[in-house]
Amino acid sequence: MTGETEILGESLPFEERIELPNWAHRKVGLKSYVEFHSASVADSAGQWERLAKELDWQRPWDEVLTPGDHPHVAKWFAGGALNLSQLALDRHVKGPRKNKVALIWEGEALGKDGAPVEVRKLTYYDLWREVNKFAFLLRSNFGMKKGDRMAVYLPMVPEAVVVLLAAARLGVTFTVVFSGFSAEALASRINDLGAKLLVTADGLFRRGKQVNLKDIADKSLQLTRTVNQVVVVRRLDTGDTGMKPGRDYWFDDLMRGAPASARVEPEPLESEHPLYVLYTSGTTGKPKGIIHDTGGYAVLLHATMNWVFDIRDEDVYWCPADIGWVTGHSYVVFGPLIEGTTTVIYEGTLDHPQPDRWWQVIERYGVSVFYTTPTATRMQMRFGEDFVKKHDRSSLRLIHSVGEPINPSAWRWLFEVVGEKRCPVGSTWWMTETGGIMISHLPGLKLLPMKPGTNGLPIPGVDADVVDDDGEPVGRGQKGLLVIKNSWPGMPGAPTGMWGDPERYAKQYFERFGAKNYFLCGDYAVKDNDGYIWVAGRADEVLKVAGHRIGTFELESSIVSHKAASEAAVVAIPDPIKGEVPIAFVVLKQGFSPDEELRKEIRLWVRSNFSPIAEPSQVYFVNKLPKTRSGKIMRRLVKAVAEGKPLGDIATLEDEASVDEVKQAYESLTVS
């Protein structure tokens, strides 16, 4: 095995097999799982149909899978009608879950006694009433109806859940924009989607500091054409929110003004109705608006909440992802609530005010199912075991991780220190486009032996594989490209897969292997002798920084929008905590001199004009960048220099001196 079968420099333990005696009831042998899986793929329509029958439909479907109006955009459960707000609320309030706690929300601030200053618990009935009210307001005060679009730019507050479920209730397609994104990023998403209404907040707390979100939203509204109504959640209440009369309305004022008996029947939505559009980074500067539908998406969430999380009524489930990311949509809001579980939302950062905050949350609410990330795990490892061990974690029974490859030692730490060797620990592979988990251990169904760092085998019904450049399966232990060979419910949905751009959707994901029609995930992966998949990182121009997905081109365009920068090349270098971090090589315009001040300014520019998560960890100034003769920047060479690796083929390089430039610039700051 080569260095390609490493994660963060740790070699992958292909032959290690860990079994849990306390999970013997779910134990399955490899041969038996492979047979079961092959059968599930052979009859995937039958499998998904059986699962769909477990949900409440307002109208049954005619066919499980039919072609849509565009290539590769299939319709799942066409003819059927359902509503995710009904699945997440109405069907629970009709039964014994009516007064079960649906949502536990904890604010960031701790009081002098060490207890959280703000905790809100909403039962299913509470949440149902709130959602009805807000849906009523959306319809009666703002004229929002099925097919309209709205944007949501909110921090982790309970209102975020209310807003998403209210939109879903009416069939208003929403897009959530991460509250760490800039005004420009928000505006471009609003414009692309044609959102009529924006829901935001006056601000948020981050590490005890107040961040004014409304200012950023106001700035973005100057760049948009479609939004003329804004609802503002009061989180800071500083008194200087700059509410614009006739455009801006306080969420709490509106809710107080709505009749307590406000009810809105969940709109019967066609199964292929777009529930939301989530913008994610791709290989061009323009983010892609991935569409998720209603029926197929619900079925995938229902399946994975059970297979992957083994979710049960007595569970307290916690996934600290932000609602701005797909994990927040699928596995903080919709998945857990559809299953009638209790989902925990914590507003703040994991080390505020002390590094044991997460373990406090687990102890305080008796969290049993925990869904975390490799970066968070590596941060916690650095703080040390004592912070974990001083809190009771006996409630924990299952742990998964997501967002980036998990290095074996981080996996071991979750398994041994956090879960005390009692809990299955998995690394669930999926992406914004897939809507839900695709490759994972399945403690809720059949549990194979675990291996530290693997993703495991594909879930039932999903035919994922690792292939070479011709689309043929690679040999065991070989690196290749991860593909999904068949359709699955929850895949990018009708009408166009990617909002307004069916051609780009088809080209981006399906053209690579021609007639084979494989879905190209964009990741490198290795398959071991048991067929376990180990996703090793992105194979394209997408960076994964602390699990956040950032497009190289987007970041470069943000840099060159600074007045001093004429060209930029961004590459990622490995980072022991964040997995990888971006560094930028920048060519300056005439008249600007490369100094420390400017370096800082460019980093700050990215923070405020794109997002703090995208800030380059270093900026290097060069006179020219390595390019092909046709003028394309050769990032591959820049990356090789930064990683001290061989340059490989440089036949198309226009000017060899540019590589030396990069080398010198890199060394001047690194060798100190």
Do the bridges between strand 342-346 and strand 316-318 make them parallel or antiparallel, or are there none, so unpaired?
A: parallel
E-assigned strand segments in 83-153? 101-106, 119-123, 149-153
Nearer to ligand WTA, 343 or 454 (CB): 454
Write out the two tokens for 462: 């999903």
- What is the token pair recorded at 36? 């079961």
Alpha helices in 272-373 (DSSP H): 295-307, 326-328, 335-338, 357-365
Residue among 637, 614, 509, 619 nearest 552 (CA) = 614
Tell me if 182 contacts ligand WTA by CB under 6 A. no
Distances 325 to 168, 281, 548 between C-alpha atoms, Å: 17, 12, 8
Which residue reads 């998406």 in tokens? 297
Please tell me what DSSP assigns to residue 631: S
Q: Which is nearer to ligand WTA, 406 or 584 (CB)?
A: 406
Query: In the bound complex, what is the minimum distance in angstroms from residue 23's beta carbon to ligand WTA?
Result: 20
Q: Is 405 in the site for ligand WTA (CB under 6 A)?
A: yes
Task: Name which of 406 and 587 has its Cβ closer to ligand WTA.
Answer: 406
With CA atoms as reference, report the closest residue to 173 among 190, 156, 154. Answer: 190
Interface with ligand WTA, residue 427, by CB under 6 A: yes
Among 375, 432, 552, 611, binds ligand WTA (CB under 6 A): 432
The stretch among 68-76, 364-372, 430-438, 588-596 that binds ligand WTA (CB under 6 A) is 430-438
Nearer to ligand WTA, 159 or 523 (CB): 523
Structure tokens at 474: 């690679």
* 526 touches ligand WTA by CB under 6 A: no
Q: Name the token pair of 116.
A: 């959280």
| Smallest gap from residue 330 Cβ to ligand WTA (A) | 8
| Binding string, residues 351-390; x marks residues near ligand WTA by CB under 6 A | ----------------------------------------
Smallest gap from Cβ 385 to ligand WTA, in A, equals: 24
Four-residue CA torsion sign, 338, 342, 346, 350: negative
Question: Least distance from C-beta 401 to ligand WTA, angstroms?
Answer: 6
Nearest one of 47, 51, 36, 46 to 301, comparing CA atoms: 51
In which element (H, E) is residue 638 found? helix 635-643
- What's the closest the beta carbon of residue 639 comes to ligand WTA, in angstroms? 16
x/- map, 444-463, ligand WTA, by CB under 6 A: -----------x--------
Residue count of the chain = 672
Among 199, 299, 402, 586, binds ligand WTA (CB under 6 A): 402
Q: How far is the CB of 539 from ligand WTA (least distance, A)?
A: 9
State which residue, 523 or 615, has the beta carbon closest to ligand WTA: 523
Q: Give the β-pairing of 101-106 and 342-346.
A: parallel
Give the shortest CB-522-to-ligand WTA separation in angstroms. 6
Per-residue contact flags (x/-) with ligand WTA for residues 208 to 237, judged by CB under 6 A: ------------------------------
Print the binding letters for residues 538-567 with ligand WTA: x by CB under 6 A, - otherwise: x-----x----x------------------
Tell me whether residue 455 or residue 611 sits nearer to ligand WTA (CB atom). 455
Q: Does 523 participate in binding ligand WTA (rule CB under 6 A)?
A: yes
For residues 291 and 279, what is the distance between their CA atoms, to the nearest angstrom? 9
Q: Residue 404, interface with ligand WTA (CB under 6 A)? A: yes
The stretches of 366-470 forming alpha helices (DSSP H) are: 374-383, 385-389, 408-412
Q: Does 403 contact ligand WTA by CB under 6 A?
A: yes
Question: Total residues at the site for ligand WTA (CB under 6 A)?
Answer: 22
For the chain, the helix, strand and coil percentages under 3-state DSSP, each to the nearest 5: 35, 25, 40
Asked whether 77 and 61 are in contact (CB, 8 A), the reply is yes
CA 274/CA 496 separation, integer angstroms: 10
Instruction: Pick one of 51, 102, 521, 665: the residue that binds ligand WTA (CB under 6 A).
Output: 521
Of 453-512, binders to ligand WTA (CB under 6 A) are 455
Q: Which of 363, 412, 423 is nearest to 388 (CA)?
A: 363
CB nearer ligand WTA, residue 128 or residue 532: 532
Instruction: Give the one residue of 318, 429, 499, 519 binding ligand WTA; rule: CB under 6 A.
Output: 429
The Cα 633–Cα 58 span in angstroms is 53
The stretch among 122-130, 139-147, 493-501, 520-528 that binds ligand WTA (CB under 6 A) is 520-528
Binding residues for ligand WTA restricted to 280-339, rule: CB under 6 A: 280, 325-327
CB 662 within 8 A of CB 637: yes
* Six-digit token string for 568: 């930029």
Q: Which stretch binds ligand WTA (CB under 6 A): 46-54, 338-346, 386-394, 397-405?
A: 397-405
Q: Smaller CB distance to ligand WTA: residue 220 or 377? A: 377
Give least dist CB 426 to ligand WTA, A: 8
Question: Which is it for strands 369-372 and 398-401: parallel, antiparallel or unpaired?
Answer: parallel
Q: How far apart, in whole angstroms, are the C-alpha atoms of residue 505 and residue 499?
A: 9
CA distance 36 to 30: 10
Give the interface with ligand WTA as residue ranges (CB under 6 A): 280, 325-327, 402-405, 427-432, 455, 521-523, 535, 538, 544, 549
